Structure 1
Amino acid sequence: MDDTELLAALIGHAQFRDDYAGGGVLPEGTRHVLAEVDHSRPLRAHQQEKAVQILREWMDPLWDVPTELEAYLRREVFDRLAAADDIYHLSELGDEAIHDWGRVHDYFPEFVLIDRSAGQITLVVAADD
């Protein structure tokens, strides 16, 4: 499969429609921060260094990251970023897609990591809740 097919499969998967608000997967739901069912939301290819910078900017200015969380993020996010063959940054949805609860999150970077050697596709959603 090429990247376009992998991304379409990810976006089309029922679990992609999790609303991240405690409701779990809603197969008929429309609130998922990424769920543009018509696949019109653009993805931008990113280099690993740029993705790390975006995630560090999300983490660092707000608080000192506890050692245990830093180790977890290194293992589960940053090591996967380093191993990824392709990294896609999902673009902003804009004001037309504000969550029905309002602006619950102001900034939440989202990435899709494709690691062909491991046979993995990883969705990273960095939220401040």
Structure 2
Amino acid sequence: MQELTHSDSIFINFRDHVFSDSGGHGYRWIDIKRFRLPADAPSDLDLIVALIVNVQFRDDYAGGGVDPAGTRHGPYWTQNVTSDAYRAITRDDAARALQSWAGQHGPLPSSLEEALAREVHPALRAATSCYELSNLGPEAFHDWGGVHIDFHEFVVIDRQESSLTLLVAADD
């Protein structure tokens, strides 16, 4: 199996931005992990499999960070996250879903809109394909998997730039 090479990660913490009200923004964030595709990039399905086995995928997204020996991915046991759990989605639908999630408690401050415009939207606009992790349900949760209120995950593939971006947006 060909491997993905992790290039960088970006964390957008909503707490770093001043909201006009105090409603529900404190524990929301978007985690972005970017990877380089192998020279002879395989199918999208094979890229998703390569992502799932990558050490960067072993992140509980609850403050623990990447754990090379980890068995959690977001709210799920890693064994429950398979390539079959991802469904193709248009880049426009992915952008709308993220925007709806981000703005569900009211208008975003301009500094946060700028961060999203700089770090999230370009990846979605350039996507040659995009996939969304389906809600696997509580039966796939790990021992404390219900900690995330909302958990949204998108795999964004850009074959023009030979990149794969993992976008995770959540509240906890």
Query: If the length of structure 2 is used for normalisation, what is the TM-score?
Result: 0.68
Q: Which amino acid aligns with 1:32?
A: H
Return the letter of the residue paired with 1:110: E
The alpha-carbon distance between structure 1 residues 107 and 113, as it changes in their structure 2 partners (threshold 3 A), is same
* Of 31, 50, 57, the match for 2:93: 50
Deviations 1:34-75 (A, max 9, x none): 623672651110111211111111111213211111111112
Larger relative strand fraction: 2
Q: Which stretch of the first structure deviates more once superposed, 99-108 or 43-52? A: 99-108
- Structure 1 partner of 2:55: 14
Mark the runs of 5 or more structure 2 residues left unpaired by the alignment: 1-41
The answer to whether the Cα contact below 8 Å between 2:138 and 2:146 also exists between their aligned partners in 1 is no
Inter-CA distance 36–63: structure 2 relative to 1 (3 Å threshold): farther
Letter in 2 for 1:22: G
Q: Which amino acid aligns with 1:8?
A: V
Q: After the TM superposition, which segments of 4 or more aligned residues of structure 1 sit over 3 Å from their partners?
A: none
Match of residue 75 from structure 1: 118
In 1, Cα distance between equivalents of 2:69 and 2:47: 21
Larger Rg: 2
SS at match of 2:72: coil
Q: Say which of 42, 45, 65 aligns to 2:108.
A: 65
Report the secondary structure of 2:108's partner residue.
coil
Partners of 1:109 and 1:127 within 8 A in 2:
yes
CA distance in 2, matches of 1:39, 1:127: 20
The 5 Å alignment of 1:86-101 reads 86-101=129-144
Aligned length: 129
Residue 112 of structure 1 corresponds to which residue in structure 2? 155
Task: Give the corresponding residue for 1:31.
Answer: 72
Percent of aligned positions that are identical: 50
Structure with more relative contact order (C-alpha pairs < 8 Å, separation 6 or more): 2
Give the C-alpha shift of residue 8 in structure 1.
0.8
In structure 1, runs of 5+ residues without a counterpart are none
Indicate if the aligned counterparts of 1:11 and 1:37 stay in contact, CA closer than 8 A: no
Q: Which residue of 1 aligns with 2:34?
A: none
How does the TM-score come out when normalised to structure 1?
Answer: 0.88
**TM-superposition CA deviations, 1:53-106 (whole Å, max 9, x none):** 111111112132111111111121111101000000011120113343352212
